[in-house]
Amino acid sequence: VSPVWLPGDPGGPERAVAGKAVQSIQTSLERVAKKQLKDRARGGQTAGVQDYGQPGHSQSAADAAKSADLVVEAVVENLELKRSLYRQLDSTAPAGCLFASNTSSLGIAELAEAADIRRLHFFNPVPVMRLVEVVRTPDITEAAFNQLLEFSRSLGKSAVPCKDTPGFIVNRLLVPYLTEAVRMLERGDATAEDIDTAMRLGAGHPMGPIELADYVGLDTTKFIMDGWHAKFPNVELFKPSDMLNKLVEEGRLGRKTGQGFYKWDSKGSKL
Ligand code: 3HC
């Protein structure tokens, strides 16, 4: 795993971001390993977390791409940033290296100006969620599509093929649902806690929609809805929510900033 970021001052904020990314991957790895190691110990095998390997990192996207077979890009949803990153990756990546974007809201044709890009869509938290959407973009070859399916399955995920439509399958259903829950709160129909309890206990969801919006990020939720609203202004379900806009404007983005609809501690647990 190589978390990559754009080059800048090597002693600057990029270093802190890299440290945080590696730390977060390691923590996740330890959580996954803890369970698997217990199972292996029961089977009489000895193993340690170190057997799962160490995440690598690089200060330069171009350097990181030199020996890559596959690059999965998951930087913030900013078209110019992504394009610039792809230009750097494309300058050194070996022929045959596949580029896949995790973007859930940007059009692949816009990104593809910089390089030949595919779509693989993972879900938060990635080590736990068993799905990957593999998107059949119009120009993808059968061989490249199968490689992406195979790669996703090699991670132990279920790979679902889908068309390149807004939100693919999951987000097309999930993001309007999250926004509907915010609208319900906005109208005063129920409290955040009651909406969440109702959907956990009444629909069997692991998290209620208000908590999930915080978990995904209110900026991400808003960004996706705004994009769809601009494209389909008459679709009622895609209309913006004043409450969501206000929270994002105030920098209350959910779990990542410690405050959204709920408060979150520095370890990412809801208070
Ligand atoms: N890394 C590794 N393992 C993790 C983890 C992480 N970040 N987070 C949780 N886990 C593991 C725990 O170790 C635990 O493992 P165990 O069962 O072996 O003990 C297991 O997952 C359950 O975790 P917890 O006991 O801490 O907590 P919960 O049972 O409440 O589960 C949750 C937490 C998995 C996040 C669950 O609440 C959940 O599934 N929530 C819904 C998540 C969801 O809907 N995600 C999709 C978001 S949409 C998206 O990502 C698309 C984007 O484009 C918008």
Q: Quote the CA–CA distance of 38 and 31 in Å, as a whole number.
A: 11
Active-site residue, 133 included: yes
Is 104 within any annotated ligand binding site? yes
Short-list 146, 147, 94, 157, CA closest to 123: 157
Region of poorest pLDDT, from 48-52, 102-106, 194-198, 240-244: 48-52
Tell me what pLDDT residue 7 has: 45
- Strand 98-101 with 117-121, pairing: parallel
Q: 66-168 with 170-257: one CATH topology?
A: no
Q: What is the dihedral of CA 74, 75, 77, 79, to 10 degrees?
A: -110
Contacts of 249 (CB under 8 A, 6+ apart): none
Q: Positive or negative, the Cα torsion across 228, 229, 233, 237?
A: positive
Ligand 1 atom closest to the CA of 121, numbered from 1: 53
- Within 10 angstroms of residue 187's Cβ, the number of other Cβ atoms is 9
Sequence ranges of the domains in the chain: 1-59, 66-168, 170-257
Q: Catalytic residue among 73, 101, 121, 241, which?
A: 121
**Interior CA angle at 218 toward 212 and 219, to 5°?**
145
Q: Catalytic residue among 73, 101, 133, 211, which?
A: 133
Active-site residue, 104 included: yes
Mind listing the pLDDT tens digit for each residue in 17-61? 778 888 888 888 888 888 777 777 777 666 666 777 777 888 788
Average pLDDT rounded to a whole number, residues 63-85: 90
Whole-model pTM: value is 0.88
Q: Beta partners for 158?
A: 131
- Structure ipTM: 0.95
CATH class label, 170-257: mainly alpha
CATH domain 66-168 topology: Rossmann fold (3.40.50)
